């Protein structure tokens, strides 16, 4: 039970930070926050993603390109131009690293306004830091795993951020239903998104790239992250930017 609780806590904290901070804030600027709160969420993302910490800056830029060029050869991660899931993720990794290390020639408009705490971005990307997180996960399993089979979950811990990205960028462009006609293959992967904190409503999101609520178009579409955004807005931690549903950056 301890291992299950640990795995679920890591899964949901990681996907929560990816959808709130990396996706809705860094990429789409669906809300604003002070620099102090921005650094707080940087640290929380580092804790949540751990060994698979993703740069908010690089993620934000790359995701904007995905919306601008979805399912074309210029898309950083399209199943339409990849042999399989692993080929797509390797291409994504290459694209991400080029942005992270300033080896790209991406137009400035895609970089405007993305968060950039350089120290944390460098620190979270260090291999010794990633190894330390991985060692910590392994020690938890050594201490509490009731059966060796549970150790098969460790690779998911190590690569949690990319695993979440792969689920949406591959499977939500392959399977599911659509509410809207869009110029790409984005689909709503799960009718009730218990797994990805609203990210599964990918067709909805590609239609309305600036809408903070990814669900809400059918009775069963509940985006768990949206009520949290409303609470943070009421507490003045963030300020939601409403009325710009079709603006993806």
Q: Does residue 2 register a pLDDT over 90?
A: yes
Confidence of residue 221 (pLDDT cuts 50, 70, 90): very high
- Would you list the DSSP string of 120-174? HHHHHH-HHHHHHHHHHHHHHHHHH-SSGGGGGGHHHHHTHHHHHHHIIIIITTT
**Average confidence (pLDDT) over 66-83:** 94
Residue with tokens 């409403």: 242
Q: pLDDT for 138-177, tens place per residue?
A: 999 999 999 999 999 999 999 999 999 999 999 999 999 9
Task: Write down the pLDDT at residue 98.
Answer: 95
Our CA dihedral for 203, 225, 22, 157, rounded to 10 degrees, sits at -100
């Amino acid at each position: 039970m301890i291992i299950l609780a640990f795995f679920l806590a890591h899964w949901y904290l990681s996907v929560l930070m990816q959808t709130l901070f990396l996706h809705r804030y860094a990429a789409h600027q669906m809300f604003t926050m002070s620099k102090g709160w921005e650094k707080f969420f940087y640290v929380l993302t580092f804790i949540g993603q751990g060994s698979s910490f993703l740069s908010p800056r690089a993620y934000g830029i790359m995701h904007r390109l995905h919306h601008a060029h979805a399912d074309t050869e210029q898309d950083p991660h399209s199943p339409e131009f990849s042999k399989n899931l692993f080929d797509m993720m390797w291409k994504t990794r290459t694209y991400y690293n080029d942005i992270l290390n300033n080896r790209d020639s991406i137009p400035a408009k895609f970089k405007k306004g993305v968060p950039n705490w350089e120290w944390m971005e460098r620190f979270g990307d260090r291999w010794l830091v990633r190894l330390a997180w991985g060692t910590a996960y392994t020690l938890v399993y050594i201490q509490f795993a009731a059966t060796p089979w549970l150790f098969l979950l460790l690779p998911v811990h190590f690569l949690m951020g990319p695993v979440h990205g792969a689920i949406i960028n591959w499977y939500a462009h392959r399977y599911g239903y659509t509410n809207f006609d869009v110029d790409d293959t984005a689909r709503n992967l799960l009718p009730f998104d218990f797994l990805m904190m609203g990210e599964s409503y990918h067709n909805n999101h590609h239609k309305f790239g600036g809408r903070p609520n990814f669900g809400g178009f059918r009775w069963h579409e509940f985006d768990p992250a949206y009520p949290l955004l409303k609470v943070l807005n009421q507490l003045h931690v963030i300020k939601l930017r409403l009325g710009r549903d079709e603006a993806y950056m």
